[in-house]
Structure 1
Amino acid sequence: MSAVLEVDGLQTYYGKSHILHGVSLTVGAGELVALLGRNGAGKTTTMRSIMGLTAPRAGRVRLFGQETTGRPPYRVASLGVGYVPEGRKIFGHLTVHENLLVPPETKGPWTIETVYQLFPRLAERRTSKGGRLSGGEQEMLAIARALLLNPKLLILDEPSQGLAPVIVQEVMRTVERMKGEGMSILLVEQNAFLALQLADRAYVLSDGAVVYDGAAAVLQADRDRMEQLAGVSHHG
């Protein structure tokens, strides 16, 4: 299986604070990989290091076989990476439809029409301002916007955060569908229980270091370890 993303030995700092201690991970073509860990474990910093938003001091990032360590975010994205950051950075003053017109048109299966089919709720709200949408609708809009780039790798940072359980299920069904269409996905999620239901493999971060790397099913079956590592309840 060819690797879409290879992260090797990242050491990342914010100022004097040493956040990532030698983080390594891979995502293979068509694979859904979950990156888990409690709040403050270094998940978002790992994403920012991959995307070029925070340059690592040591270690390297390769995307689609190309060295991208330290490249600016727009160069990373242009290789075919869709990034949906934590907090859904949509344009509140633009309508849903105007938000979807922001990404440049790219060739591939995802168009504004197919995105509306995937998220009928967005089609219904196409003339509503982004700022008027519910949290779940904003998450769908953020994912839809990333899909319009027709990425080969989609990175989702905490898509379930702050959403009602029924909406979380809807967002996760979408992720599952994208995986079904062959997209490679890196899913960063605090809700380990949910993420492991979808993932092929999982990594768990603790204090900026990888403490688990293996099959998602194996981690899911080990309830004690799940609670200890990710701080989740059995009910997810």
Structure 2
Amino acid sequence: MSAVLVAEGLHTYYGKSHILHDVSLAVEEGKITALLGRNGAGKTTTLRTLMGLTPARRGRVTIFGADTSRWPTFRIAASGVGYVPEGRRIFANLTVEENLRVPLVRSGPWTISRIYELFPRLAERRESRGRQLSGGEQEMLSIARALLLNPRLLILDEPSQGLAPLIVREVSRVISQMCDKGISVLLVEQNARMGLKISDYVYVLDDGGIVHSGKSRDLAADENRVRALTGVSAHE
């Protein structure tokens, strides 16, 4: 299995503040890779660096075999990367259907009708405006819009944030199905339980540096290690 994304020795700054310190990670084709860590560990900055929103001052990012370290964000997205940022940035005044028609059409298996099959709740709410949706419905809509770009790699930032446990399980189900449909996933989560349950491989970030990497099932089996690294239990 080959890697669709490789980050090597990333050092990222906000002004004079050194946020990422020599961060390296990889996302294997057809797998879910989780990036876990406490609040402020640097998870979102890592994603912003990978997407070209906050380029690293040092280090290299390779996506689908191309060096994208200095590419603008739109070019990275056009190469086949879907990005769902933290905060569910949907259009509040547009309906679900109108939100889904915003992304540029890109050939591939994902269409609006197929989205409605994956998210029956969105089909039921297709005439509702974004501001009328629950947090879970908004998260589903954010993921759906990214899927309509027919990405080969999907990057998700905190998709479970603020959601009820039942909705977290539904979002987890959908993310797991992505790999079944040939999409590689990089999942950033503070929810260690969710991240470890659905991912194949895990990295843990703390204070801007990688402090653990390995198979998710191995870390999940070591409760004390999970608590030490993430501050929470790996189990319900």
TM-score calculated relative to the size of structure 1: 0.98
Structure 2 residue aligned with 1:192: 192
Unmatched 5+ stretches in structure 2 = none
Task: Quote how far apart the aligned CAs of 1:79 are.
Answer: 0.3
Structure 2 residue aligned with 1:133: 133
Q: Does 1:206 align with 2:211?
A: no
Q: Which letter maps to 2:66?
A: Q
Structure 2 residue aligned with 1:215: 215
User: Residues of 2 paired with 1:168 and 1:198: CA distance?
Assistant: 12
Structure 1 residue aligned with 2:162: 162
Where do 1:1-236 residues align within 5 Å? Answer: 1-236=1-236
> Per the alignment, in what secondary structure is the counterpart of residue 93 of structure 2?
coil
Task: Quote how far apart the aligned CAs of 1:235 are.
Answer: 3.8
User: Residues of 1 paired with 2:119 and 2:235: CA distance?
Assistant: 27
Out of 176-185 and 10-19, give the one that drifted further: 176-185
User: Residues of 2 paired with 1:227 and 1:17: CA distance?
Assistant: 28
User: Residues of 1 paired with 2:70 and 2:192: CA distance?
Assistant: 30
Q: Which letter maps to 2:5?
A: L
User: Residues of 2 paired with 1:194 and 1:129: CA distance?
Assistant: 29
Aligned length: 236
Task: Quote how far apart the aligned CAs of 1:28 are.
Answer: 1.1
User: Residues of 1 paired with 2:231 and 2:78: CA distance?
Assistant: 36
Task: Quote how far apart the aligned CAs of 1:182 are.
Answer: 2.0
Identity of aligned residues (%): 64
Task: Quote how far apart the aligned CAs of 1:234 are.
Answer: 4.8
> Per the alignment, in what secondary structure is the counterpart of residue 19 of structure 1?
strand
Task: Quote how far apart the aligned CAs of 1:42 are.
Answer: 0.5
Q: Which letter maps to 1:2?
A: S
User: Residues of 2 paired with 1:87 and 1:93: CA distance?
Assistant: 16
Moved over 6 A (4+): none
Task: Quote how far apart the aligned CAs of 1:72 are.
Answer: 1.2
User: Residues of 2 paired with 1:56 and 1:157: CA distance?
Assistant: 19
Unmatched 5+ stretches in structure 1 = none
User: Residues of 1 paired with 2:31 and 2:118: CA distance?
Assistant: 21
> Per the alignment, in what secondary structure is the counterpart of residue 20 of structure 1?
strand
For 1:115-163, what per-residue CA distance to the aligned partner results, in whole angstroms no more than 9, with x for missing partners?
0010011111111111111100000000000000010000000000000
Contact 2:192 2:233 in 1 (8 A): no
User: Residues of 1 paired with 2:88 and 2:34: CA distance?
Assistant: 19
Task: Quote how far apart the aligned CAs of 1:106 are.
Answer: 1.2
Q: Which letter maps to 2:101?
A: L
Q: Which letter maps to 2:22?
A: G
> Per the alignment, in what secondary structure is the counterpart of residue 62 of structure 1?
strand
User: Residues of 2 paired with 1:182 and 1:215: CA distance?
Assistant: 20
Q: Which letter maps to 2:126?
A: R
TM-score calculated relative to the size of structure 2: 0.98
> Per the alignment, in what secondary structure is the counterpart of residue 185 of structure 2?
strand
> Per the alignment, in what secondary structure is the counterpart of residue 142 of structure 2?
helix
